[in-house]
A and B are shown apart, each in its own frame.
Chain A
């Protein structure tokens, strides 16, 4: 389907079904409410077919360019029908299954994620593994000969795992090679979160939300057919997420930033100081959107996305923070003191935005990549 047609049809459909789709709680809502809302919206949209565009037919999709699902996600985020951060997690989970899972596994499970039947999480970070993902140590050992074992036993810990406390499945990275094997000794598994031995301990974030968690694995047995990709081929699985994280996810975030800036100018005082602040934010936001559009068209044209998406990542992070900084500059006391639902939302999201330069590879790591790979400055 043509993307402009799709956009028009989605916008019209969302408008016609707004009352059915709108959240039934006061914003910002708890994580419980946000997750329930997201699953409800996905179920309605899957039923109506919209949620299936841009996904391959072999996983229950209706085909077409991945940009179709990006458009849908952005339309939902831009209307506050879903939280962009939660909804766009699909983009760092489902493509992994599509690309690396045995066909019957992805055909069985991906529709459950798309239709809001299940929540999934991504087990990458560990207490000792932040920006340096290749140092991870959560261990998977074959129960017998690795070539023929029917199951793998997992021991270790993950942390900062978004929605772990809600998740039915986890895309998990484990150490299968020697401890110092770095990116060569990592294997990915698709793990049922109700497997005995998994303990989830939610962490309270700076904004009070319990969105992410620590996840402990004590002798967790995972069937061998749940391996994603090759044994010791987990690094490729981890890296395959990058193109979608850096295109589709970002486009959805950008839609939510536009929504917030518009909400800000709806209530901001009409004076020169405010004009300068919102003008600056608008200039940055537009440049980010323009950059992300170019990236997505490159991806759609078959380009392999790589180090240059670190630029997109830096722009998304700094623009998100600039948008919420603008709120504090323009509406003094709102983030700090306002206990109305609007104030709660600005406060919640302002505090959340501080993580933008930390997660998904810190801004320092992105600048290191830019320096080495794009500016060719040699090793640091």
Chain B
């Protein structure tokens, strides 16, 4: 049923695009509402009739995956959810995938957020996606949520020397001194890996500048696709790897499923979202071609007139 649905949708989309392409030779501009309609069908069809593609992890994604994989069990990993609900559909899948991977490998995971809205999304991720798959993992022993603190880069400037000055307690007001994970952690310098997931400020870039560089702490980043190009100058010297947008999440999820059989039936929103993203990209590219044909045809007509 899903296959028939997606085939019908593809026929509608490509049939429509072909008609527009033929029309474009006559140099007739396309109304923006027509573009909106095509994008709507291209995004809606793969959501209603899910299609998934196989992925091949790019070197930047593979690097961060390998880092998590190679750390010995019991390593201290900090995951910072630095995003809001607007960015969540793009970056939450990768945050969930990395969290699961870290817990599976037996790392001690510290969750936090530099965004006020990040704390609620972190709770949502923990309750709905991460912890149900790991009932054996205990709060304060295998993972801990220290929540959000105001102060942006200021927070990082303090926790690079002392966690307890900025986070005297976890999110449930339990003192950090009584949390087992923090027994041998004084500052960020005692962490084996920090992964910041977000795309705004403060976010991955601030983690690199205020924690990664001064503390010599390995930093991995997950970010929205539009922000990823800004982080490439830091790879590979200052960041371990980069997950960019839905594609980065999909590659990570695919590699995780391929590598560990435990995740064979894992929910993979990143891979699912590649369907709408792929079709939307194809539609956008088709409209770019149509736009250029219209432009060239129009220019030729003008020359003839002269």
Whether chains A and B associate is no
